[in-house]
């Protein structure tokens, strides 16, 4: 199956909600346009940053469909479709694929903590059924289990598994994947602060949280690493470092939604069980974003 290899800076999009709680389609469309105008290379709606855990299946599909429609082919769209139930993951993949996404992203099943052989069987079943290319997502801090490098490399042999988002925070693991992966298999950082070291080891870019609020700066950092300008990438990393830290001062996406709210781009509402950003963190978030923007 032919596909466009994912590389560069992708944004793990937040899902804007109205003050009354419904998905804010207008704000989402505006956010998609702004991200693309600012130089983001691809978009990832309905991941953990998109609060998928509290979206209904209908809302989940609609958020992805809106993103695809508004992107209008300008950048790839990687729709989140993961589940800890393999049958549901396949069913959701078929629904999300129908929106016209270029790729599907599948997180390692959370809570079940499958064995490595279980992960191989799960992702193989999903990839066999999925009508578009699959990107793995390894985030042990949320799922409770790690996709070992050897497991990722075994799955990379599947013709419909075309990349991985690595958020285990391990340079050793990233190096092993980078060294052993087949041509065309994308390796993307899932941690903003690890983008520079991961790309130095061979990763192709990042799926970023902080770029929701500072898309141009994060795209510039990734672009500098892509063309081997380590000095500029390092300088940008230092400028963005406070925001990369502060964006996780409370559970993602609470701080980044608060930042976007301060910028007037969305209402900062999150859905329970997440609560709004504590008042004590508001100025910290605002200052970190200002510094990242260089203002």
**Catalytic residue annotation:** 137, 165
DSSP the chain: ---PPP-EEEEE----B-TTSSB-HHHHHHHHHHHHHTT--EEE-SSTTTTGGGS-HHHHHHHHHHHHHHHTTSS-BEEE---SSHHHHHHHHHHHHTTT-SEEEEEPPTTT---HHHHHHHHHHHHHH-SS-EEEEE-HHHHSS---HHHHHHHHTSTTEEEEEE-S--HHHHHHHHHHPPTT-EEEES-GGGHHHHHHTT--EEEESGGGT-HHHHHHHHHHHHTT-HHHHHHHHHHHHHHHHHTTSSSTTHHHHHHHHHTTSS-----TTS-PPPGGGHHHHHHHHHHHHT-
């Amino acid at each position: 199956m032919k596909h466009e290899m994912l590389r560069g800076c992708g944004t793990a999009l937040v899902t804007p909600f109205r003050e009354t709680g419904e998905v804010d389609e207008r704000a989402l469309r505006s956010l998609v346009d702004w991200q693309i105008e600012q130089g983001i290379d691809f978009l990832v709606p309905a991941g953990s940053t998109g609060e998928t855990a509290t979206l209904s299946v209908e809302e989940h599909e609609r958020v992805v469909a809106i993103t695809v429609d508004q992107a209008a082919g300008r950048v790839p769209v990687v729709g989140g479709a993961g589940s800890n139930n393999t049958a549901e993951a396949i069913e959701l993949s078929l629904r999300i694929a129908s929106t016209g996404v270029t790729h599907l992203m599948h997180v390692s099943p959370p809570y079940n903590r499958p064995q490595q052989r279980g992960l191989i069987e799960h992702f193989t079943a999903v990839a066999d059924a999925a009508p578009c290319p699959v990107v793995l997502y390894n985030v042990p801090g949320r799922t409770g289990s790690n996709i070992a490098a050897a497991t990722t490399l075994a799955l990379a042999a599947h013709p419909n598994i075309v990349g991985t988002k690595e958020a285990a925070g391990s340079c050793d693991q990233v190096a092993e994947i980078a060294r052993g992966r087949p041509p065309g298999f994308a390796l993307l950082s899932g941690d903003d602060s690890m983008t520079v070291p991961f790309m130095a080891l061979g990763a192709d870019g990042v799926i970023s949280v902080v770029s929701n609020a500072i898309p141009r700066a994060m795209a510039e950092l990734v672009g500098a690493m892509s063309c081997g300008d380590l000095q500029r990438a390092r300088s940008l990393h230092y400028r963005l470092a406070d925001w990369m830290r502060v964006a996780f001062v409370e559970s993602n996406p609470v701080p980044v939604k608060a930042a976007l709210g301060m910028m007037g781009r969305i209402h900062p509402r999150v859905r329970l069980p997440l609560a709004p950003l504590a008042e004590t963190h508001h100025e910290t978030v605002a200052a970190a974003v200002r510094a990242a923007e260089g203002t």
